[in-house]
Structure 1
Amino acid sequence: MKCIVSCYLRLFRYGNVKFFLTICCCLSVLPSFSQQKKNVLFIVVDDLRPALGCYGDRVAVSPNMDRLAAMGTIFKSAYCQQAVCAPSRASFMTGKKPDHTKVWNLTTHFRKALPNVITMPEYFKNNGYYARQIGKIYHDPKAAQDARSWSVPELFAVTTNLGKYVLDSNLVRAPKANAAEAANVADSAYIDGMVANAAIKELQLVQKKPFFLAVGFRRPHLPFSVPLKYWNNNAGKVFPLSPDTAAGLHVPRYSIHHSVELRGYQDIPDLGPINKELSAELIKGYYTAVSFTDEQIGKVFSELSRLKLDQNTIVVILSDHGFHLGEHGMWGKTTNSKIDTLVPLIIYDPSQTKAPRATVATVELVDLYATLSDLCGLPIPKTDGQSFANVIKGKPYLGRGMAFSQFPDDMKFDQQPKVMGYVIHNNRFGYTEWIDLPTGKVLAQELYDYHADPAENANVAAKPKYRRQVAFFHQQVGLYRK
Structure 2
Amino acid sequence: MNKAVSCVAGVLSTVLLAVFGPSFIAEPPVNAPENAPEKPNIIFLLTDDHRWDALGAMGNRIIQTPNLDALAKKGILYPNMYVTTAICCVSRASILSGQYESRHKINDFVTDFTPEALANTYPMLLKKAGYNIGFVGKYGVGENPPDNRFDYWACNRKGQPPYEYTNQSGQKIHHTDSVAHSMQLCLKEFAGKGPFCLSVSFKAPHELDGNPPTYPVQERFANLYKNVTVPTPETADPKYWNSFPDFFRTDKNIGRERWKPLFSTPELHQETVKDYYRLVTGVDEVVGKLVDQLKQLKLDKNTIIVFSGDNGFYLGEHGMEGKWFGHEESIRVPLIIYNPSLPASKRGTRSNRMALNIDIAPTLLAFAGVDAPKTMQGTDLMKTADRSDFFYEHTFMGSPRLPKVEGVVTQDFKYMKFIEHGYEELYSVKSDPHETKNLASDPTYAQQLNQLRSRYRVLKEMAQ
TM-score, normalised to structure 2's length?
0.81
Corresponding residue for residue 317 of structure 1: 307
Q: Work out whether 1:366 is the aligned partner of 2:345.
A: no
2:385 maps to 1:398: yes
Distance 1:163 1:461 in 2: 42
Q: Measure how far apart 1:468 and its partner are.
A: 2.4
Contact 2:118 2:124 in 1 (8 A): no
Deviates more, 1:274-283 or 1:379-388: 379-388
Going from structure 1 to structure 2, the CA distance change for 1:255 and 1:151 (only over 3 Å counts) comes to farther
Deviates more, 1:399-408 or 1:332-341: 399-408
The answer as to whether partners of 1:119 and 1:149 remain within 8 angstroms in 2 is: no
1:195 Cα deviation from its structure 2 partner: 0.8
1:155 aligns with 2:147: no
Maintained 8 Å contact 2:41/2:302:
yes
Aligned to 1:76, the other structure's residue is in SS state: coil
The code of the aligned residue for 2:381 comes to F
Could you tell me which amino acid in structure 1 is paired with residue 282 of structure 2?
A: F
Contact 1:76/1:359 (<8 A) preserved: yes
SS class of match (1:225): coil
- Could you give the per-residue CA deviations for residues 220-249 of structure 1, whole angstroms, max 9, x where no partner exists? 111321222212232212222222113268
Could you state the TM-score of these two structures normalised by the residue count of structure 1? Answer: 0.78
Change (3 A) 1:471 1:210: same
Distance 1:426 1:301, change over 3 A: farther
- Bigger CA drift: 154-163 or 121-130? 154-163
Decide whether the 8 Å contact of 1:69 with 1:346 is kept in 2: yes
Verify the 8 A CA contact 1:432 1:447 in the aligned structure 2. Answer: yes
Alignment of 1:425 onto 2:409 = yes
Match of 2:428 among 420, 439, 449: 449
Structure 2: which amino acid aligns with 1:403? F
Offset at 1:408?
2.3
Q: Give the drift of 1:118.
A: 1.5
Runs of 5+ consecutive residues of structure 2 not aligned to the other structure: 1-32, 209-214
Does 1:205 pair with 2:189? yes
- 1:116-139 CA distance string (max 9 Å, x none): 651110111111101110111334
Q: Give yes or no for contact 2:50–2:311 (8 Å, CA) kept in 1.
A: yes
Aligned 8 A contact 1:371 1:386 in 2 = yes
Give the residue type in structure 1 aligned to 2:228.
K
2:204 aligns with one of 216, 219, 233: 219
Match of 1:228 in 2: 219
Cα distance, 1:312 vs structure 2: 1.0
Q: Does 1:388 align with 2:390?
A: no
Residue in structure 2 matched with residue 133 of structure 1 by the alignment: 135
Aligned identity (percent) is 28
Q: Structure 1: where are the runs of 5+ without partners? A: 1-28, 167-184, 391-396, 437-441
Does the 8 Å CA contact 2:95/2:360 hold for their aligned counterparts? Answer: yes
CA distance in structure 1 between the partners assigned to 2:204 and 2:296 by the alignment: 25
Cα distance in 2 for residues equivalent to 1:256 and 1:130: 49
Match of 2:44 in 1: 42
Q: Which of the residues 108, 121, 124 maps onto 1:122?
A: 124
**Shift of residue 454, structure 1, vs aligned partner:** 0.7
Aligned-residue offset at 1:326: 0.4
**What residue in structure 1 maps to residue 71 of structure 2?**
68
Give the letter for the 1:49 counterpart: R
User: Which is higher, the Rg of structure 1 or of structure 2?
Assistant: 1
3-state SS of paired residue (1:81): coil
In the TM superposition, residue 427 of structure 1 has moved relative to its aligned partner by 2.4
Amino acid at match of 1:276: P
Check 1:389–1:337 CA distance in 2 against 1; reply closer, same or farther (3 A cut): same
Counterpart-to-counterpart distance in 1, 2:256 and 2:186: 35
SS at match of 1:145: coil
Contact map agreement 2:313 2:321 (CA 8 A) in 1: yes
SS of the aligned residue for 1:125 comes to: helix
Matches within 5 A, 1:407-422: 407-408=394-395, 410-411=397-398, 420-422=404-406
The alignment partner of 1:334 has SS state of: coil
Instruction: Single out whichever of 292-301 and 76-85 deviates more from structure 2.
Output: 292-301
Q: Provide the aligned length of Structure 1 versus Structure 2.
A: 411
Question: Contact 2:230–2:273 (CA<8 Å) still a contact in 1?
Answer: yes
Which amino acid in structure 1 is aligned with residue 361 of structure 2?
Answer: Y
Q: Give 3-state SS (helix, strand or coil) of 2:44's partner.
A: strand
Provide Cα deviations, 1:388-436, integer angstroms capped at 9, x if missing partner: 212xxxxxx2222223221127449xxxx9x742232232112112335
- The whole-number CA distance in structure 2 between the counterparts of 1:332 and 1:297 is 25
Alignment deviations for residues 254-294 of structure 1 (CA, whole Å, 9 cap, x no partner): 666756378579xx649xx7111111111111111111111
